[in-house]
Chains A and B, each alone.
Chain A
Amino acid sequence: MTAILAAFSGVVMGWLIQEVGASDPRRLLANLRLERFDIIRFMAVTIAVAAVLLPLLGFVTPLHTAIKPLQWVGVIVGGVIFGMGFGLAGFCPGTCVVAAGSGRREAWLVVVGGLLGAAVYHLTAPWLVDVWHRWDVGRPVLPDVVGLPAWATGALLGAGLVLAVVLLPRGVRNEPS
């Protein structure tokens, strides 16, 4: 049943990514060059909606949350490397699969590169995994950090993201209104 739900989530996510244009690497690169902001806005709205709703739903139903650990070395080094790849070609591990599905042949090479990247990680893990896991401070969440209930921090986070969406420049270059 979980596999069916995961597959269904993937189909809907793929549909939304294709519809919003995030599977087009030129569109993502334009966002990363700060020439347009539609995909950044899309991500901010997504997170705002879920951040507000999840703590509220937590009052009425158990949630299947999974908080990733904050291992400073891995998160920062991995984030820098990920960002370099993201900024080089305008693809993420998910959007390249959506792009391949949509018919963009160029995306297949990113998928192949992704498998090579996973293999590099795997083969170097015996020596490096302890380095990546250094400075592990557990799995902190915003309510722990600021000392407020999750529904309040979720609302504040959502409001902050909506404010960012509103304040981002509009129609800078080639952006539809």
Chain B
Amino acid sequence: MSARDEIFASIRRSLAVGPVDAPRRDAVAARLAQAPVGIVPRRGHGEATESLATFKSEAERVQATVAEVALSSDVPAEITRYLRENNLPATLRFGDDKRLADMPWAATALEIARGPSEGDDLNAVSAAFAAVAETGTLVLVSGADNPTTLNFLPDNHFVVVFAADLVADAESVFARLKADYGAGALPRTVNFITGPSRSADIEQTLLLGAHGPRRLHIVVVAG
């Protein structure tokens, strides 16, 4: 008997069930199809302005910084400002995301690189698939548009959130993923990111920038 068969037999023996048990199969199929939503905290919910305020305060609570700009075309200037004020090199890498590519980078003095990171980039910008007000969380999906390596290898990570993509809770993110990728399917990687990387492994002292970015700067585009 293969390991697989024996494990399934052992589970069914312990549960005192047979392999063909229509009511059990129906219960499982129903749950997988319906994916019921459980208890959702009130915290992330409210009018758009309220949600944005919650997102901002929750993100800042976990040591991210948040800036709001009116238009997509304001993003390069905001990133340039942040780099300058923090004495960081004027370099930036991003993927194929059209919304990012269409921004007026030429108007800045930034040295732009494109594509996934090989580990020697200091700064990168990604566009978020969504953002979650309840916990100040960013959601990024893998692909050529926003390569996953950009979320982890650079020291300073910028993430652009379009206000329309700000949702109340993780359940709303899953609903959007289902709408975009189909039921029961996901992109290779979905990253929920809540603040910059950290570790408390040395005597429980909180230190930022363990293996991932030391700084996480979120730029929310209102329009």
The finding on whether chains A and B are genuine partners in a shared complex, rather than unrelated, reads no
Binding site for A on B (CB under 8 A): none
